[in-house]
Structure formats: structure tokens, C-alpha cells
Copies of this chain bind each other. A is one copy, B any other.
């Protein structure tokens, strides 16, 4: 096991009818900015619950945070915070709203010019406003971590940042808020969680990390059992609860401690979204099987372990076990009605070239062995045509 140090201080408030508890968490007298997305929370009753809970506070709203949230949008919210003297932010939505809010609370306190410098690793975060979240989509784990991914629309760049200063103070996880999600969003969320775990688990396996492996498999098995049930019966409380809790554990940091991490699937997927607007979850479903195929030797031990522990695959030859496991992952994504090939999204040779070129231009070397260049990404994507 690798050495590590880590703390995750996020308070989780989990369960039915828990949104009202935010009034116990936000300091009395705070000026609260509520951030949210396209307005579905106004249709499903969540906004009303939030309004009621915040009745004693001076309150502002910032709506319109888009999926793959834009830097440009976040900067508008940061300006509003300064203008109104807001001192607490409440993110209500899925990973995009929470990610955006992490950038917003940082940007509102940033005093050395353009906060985008943080994304370019040219500046560090010194301060951020406190914020909490109300999660309405099980997917990104952003509700219990200190990372976020932001897109600069002007340059089509999608980049991640991380700082302990942007851990939420609290996150409310009420599974009933996910009952009315479009099934595509439920499926995307399941794929996102699955691939988060894969990034922290399907590696070259230099480390002996038995507990982390079993915990990663715990999340994956939960997704495989509960995912299809959620699509069939979107109002099953226990299924939604298990999926919501699994998505949080997919990326709250703990299963990554002591292990190697990959993240190539995410980095390549981000480029597909940045250039072509394909949903984040969809891009991961395209890329992961390709990463498994091209890195099959490097990742052999863990792919075989995943096959056995997660999918119950037992083959006498390693090659057959790996083939079956890659197919099982692809089949699982497709069973959720998520397409796994570029052509199914109208993309082909040009996309492969464009993404490969950008990664090469940046000089990135991705993956747990830093051996996935733009050229290797090209091979990966070629298997996904």
C-alpha cells in the first residue's frame, strides 16, 4: 500500500425528507446564494423545500448552470456574490451545479486577477466561501469531495481542479429527489460512478491493497445490481438510495487512498465532450472499454480480478478472461441504454485525429504509468469507432 494522508470532513445528511435540515447547518444571519441549473428543481418540488428551509435567511438565486459548467457562467455568479455580499452558497443540483459552485466560491474570493489561472496551475487557491449542497443526481461524487471540472467555452477546454478549501460543509442526499430524472441521466450517472471506480481500481496493480479492491468492487456490484432496477422502477426508494450512496463512495476519495490511479478514460472523455458536446457519461462508456483493450497487458491482473469478483467470470486462460470482462463492461453500459461507440454518436476518423492531436500538442502522458500519449489515445479511440 502506498503512503497517504487524507481527511474528508463533509457532513452527509442522508435520507427522505432531509432538505429541511439545512437550516441547522447554515449559520444564522448568512446571506445565502442558491445556485442551480436548468430549473428542473422548480418542477419536482425541491426548490419549494429549499425555499421553505431558507425562509429565515436573506437569499439570492443564480440559475442556469449548464451541464459541463462554463467558466463564463461561474464568473457571473462570482460577480453576483461580490455585489450582494453573499457569505454562504447553497448548490442545488447534480455534479455540474456542485462543481460550478466550487469554482464560484473560489473565484468570489480570488484576488490575483483571473481565477482561470487556477485551472492552468498558474495560481493557487487561498480562500473560498463556505458552501453546502443538495444533491439531485447520483453520479459525480462531487457532494463529498474537493474536486471540480470546469469548461472554458471560449477555448473548448475542460479541466479539473482540486482543493481542500472547496469541500462542501454539508451535503444533503435525499434519494427521492432522483425519482423524476430522465432515464438518460440516471444511466449516465451509473456509468460515471462505474468509471470513477474503474479509474481507481483497474490499474497496473503494483500495490497490494486488498481492502480498497474489495471496497471498489462493493461499489461496482451495487451499480450492476441496482442500476437496471432504477431504470425499471424509478420510484423505488431503496434502489435510489443504494445508487446515490454508491455514487458518493465512487469518488469521495477513500477508495483511492493507498492505490494507484488512472484517470485516462476521463481525460480522453473530457475532450470528446469539449469538442462535440457528448454527455460526460456517454464519453466514458465509449472510452473505458478501449482503455481496457489497449492497456490489457499492463492492467491484466486487475481486469481478471474485476471479471471474477464483479461479473463472476471464471476462465482458464487470462486472455479469455480479459476479453470476457471487457465485453461485460461494454454490455453493462449498453444494458443501461448508453451507446459505447463513436459512430453511434456520429463521430469518426476526424474526431479521433482531433482529440489525439490535442493531447499530443499538450504533451500529456496519462494513466497510472504515464504512458498514454495522444498517439496511444488514438489507438484507444480506434478500437471504439
Contacts and interface: CB of A to CB of B under 8 A. Distances in A.
Interface of A: 1-18, 21, 170, 175, 207-212, 214-215, 217-219, 221-222, 225-226, 237-238, 241-242, 245-246, 249, 257-258
A10 B7 contact: yes
A257 B7 CA distance: 18
A214 B210 contact: no
A125 to B, nearest CB: 19
A219 B211 contact: yes
Contact of A211 (B15, B170, B218): B218
A329 B300 CA distance: 33
Given A1-B241, A241-B1, A242-B210, A7 B12 contact: yes
A13 B5 contact: yes
Contacts of A6: 11-12, 14
A183 to B, nearest CB: 21
B217 A218 contact: yes
B208 A218 contact: no
A241 B212 CA distance: 11
A246 B258 CA distance: 13
Contact of A7 (B1, B3, B9, B16): B9
A243 to B, nearest CB: 9
A6 B15 CA distance: 12
Q: How many copies does the complex hold?
A: 2
Contact of A242 (B7, B209, B237): B209
B222 A214 contact: yes
A4 B244 CA distance: 14
Given A3-B15, A5-B12, 4 more contacts: A1-B175, A6-B12, A7-B10, A210-B225
Given A210-B225, A218-B218, A238-B208, A8 B8 contact: yes
Contacts of A214: 214, 217-219, 221-222
A175 B2 CA distance: 11
Contacts of A241: 1, 208, 258
Nearest to A169: B7
